[in-house]
Amino acid sequence: MTVRAFAPAKINLTLHVTGQRDDGYHLLDSLVAFADIGDHLEFAPGPTLSIEVTGEHAEGVPADARNLIWQAAQAFGWTGSVHLNKVLPHGAGIGGGSSDAAATLRVLSDQGADIPYELPLSLGADVPVCMAAKAARMRGIGERITPVRLPPLPTVLVHPGVPVPTGPVFAALASRANPAMPVDLPEFDTPQDCAMWLGDLRNDLERPAIGVAPEIARVLDALGATTKALLVRMSGSGSSCFALYPSMKAAHFAAYEIGAAHPDWWCRAVALS
């Protein structure tokens, strides 16, 4: 029987790099939300493991053991065919591969498999938070997840089509011991409340990512120039960027503005939660 799953885009509203362990892993403090857009997966049991990738951003996505879906399925000894409709750009800082892996783990768990505690994190720092696919604070190396209540956040996501490898971005980071977010996070009633609070926080990877891919600065400038933008920031290690708006109407209008001016960019109006 075919089982379907949704793997939403993960957006880092903040990303504070607070330290680095002796084993090289970076310590993070990040407020994460998830969009109502994402990849779609279908699973059908069978004698062998295979992945078929189709969709707007299928090109360049591995369909073998390099794919986190494959690694997640193989960890359970599950075999069958997986069809991945790749809606999200990959290497874009919005957790596409991690969200795909998390969706795979959720499907297998729903079928009765027990997920070893260490498995999600072994697949990637973003996989544990993607397991819940709800707004959360992510700390440590990705293993400390605390649910957070956010109002629906009207948002525009933009990816300029420039992939940014995570390694060079972290290598260009000037400091790895930066202040964390406040200990206690407030509750927000409106997108305006949330955007105002987020304005005092940061993504520590934004500046080094711009050094690696200057196109990111153009995206941030373009988003900042849209009507009614409340907050503009890069997500993850780039190169996707986002802007928050007071309403979905304002977000759709801004997406139209961006699309008209930059038809070669991937641009979507979404709601985060």
Each as own residue / partner, the long-range contacts of residues 256-259 (CB below 8 Å, 24 or more positions apart, any chain) are: 257/226, 257/227, 258/156, 258/158, 258/222, 258/223, 258/226
Report domain extents, the chain: 3-147, 153-272
Examine domains 3-147 and 153-272 and report if their fold is the same.
no
Question: Can you tell me the mean pLDDT for 245-252?
Answer: 98
Residue 230: predicted pLDDT: 98
pTM reported for the whole predicted model = 0.97
Question: Can you tell me the mean pLDDT for 76-82?
Answer: 95
Is 90 exceeded by the pLDDT of residue 124? yes
Placement of tokens 């300029």 in the chain: 160
Cα 17 from Cα 62, distance rounded (Å): 29
50 SS3 class = strand
Its sign, for the CA torsion 110, 88, 119, 150, is negative
pLDDT, tens digit, 9 for 90 and up, residues 40-73: 999 999 999 999 999 999 999 999 999 999 999 9
Tell me if 232 sits within 8 A of 223, measured CB to CB: yes
Which position among 10, 29, 39, 86 bears the catalytic label? 10
| Other beta carbons within 10 Å of 144 | 15
Domain 153-272 is of which CATH architecture?
Answer: 2-Layer Sandwich (3.30)
pLDDT, tens digit, 9 for 90 and up, residues 86-110: 999 988 999 999 999 999 999 999 9
Residue 111: predicted pLDDT: 87
* Whether 10 is catalytic: yes
CATH topology of domain 3-147: Ribosomal Protein S5; domain 2 (3.30.230)
Which position among 29, 39, 100, 126 bears the catalytic label? 126
Tell me if 107 sits within 8 A of 69, measured CB to CB: no
Question: Can you tell me the mean pLDDT for 241-248?
Answer: 98
Model confidence at 113, pLDDT cuts 50, 70, 90, reads: confident
Tell me if 55 sits within 8 A of 85, measured CB to CB: yes
Query: In sequence order, which residues have a C-beta less than 8 Å from that of residue 85 and are 6 or more positions away?
Result: 39, 40, 41, 54, 55
Task: Kindly report the backbone phi and psi dihedral angles of residue 132, in degrees, each rounded to the nearest multiple of 5, phi listed first.
Answer: -80, -35
Is 90 exceeded by the pLDDT of residue 138? yes
Cα 51 from Cα 1, distance rounded (Å): 16
256 SS3 class = helix
pLDDT, tens digit, 9 for 90 and up, residues 168-180: 999 999 999 999 9
Between strands 241-244 and 153-159, the pairing is antiparallel
Model confidence at 112, pLDDT cuts 50, 70, 90, reads: confident
Cα 94 from Cα 100, distance rounded (Å): 11
Residue 254: predicted pLDDT: 98
Nearest to 250 by CA among 190, 208, 171, 202: 190
Please, what is the average pLDDT of the chain? 97
* Whether 126 is catalytic: yes
180: buried, middle or exposed (CB in 10 Å: 19+, 13-18, 0-12)? middle
Query: In sequence order, which residues have a C-beta less than 8 Å from that of residue 146 and are 6 or more positions away?
Result: 136, 137, 139
Tell me if 197 sits within 8 A of 187, measured CB to CB: no
Q: Token pair of 155, please?
A: 């948002």
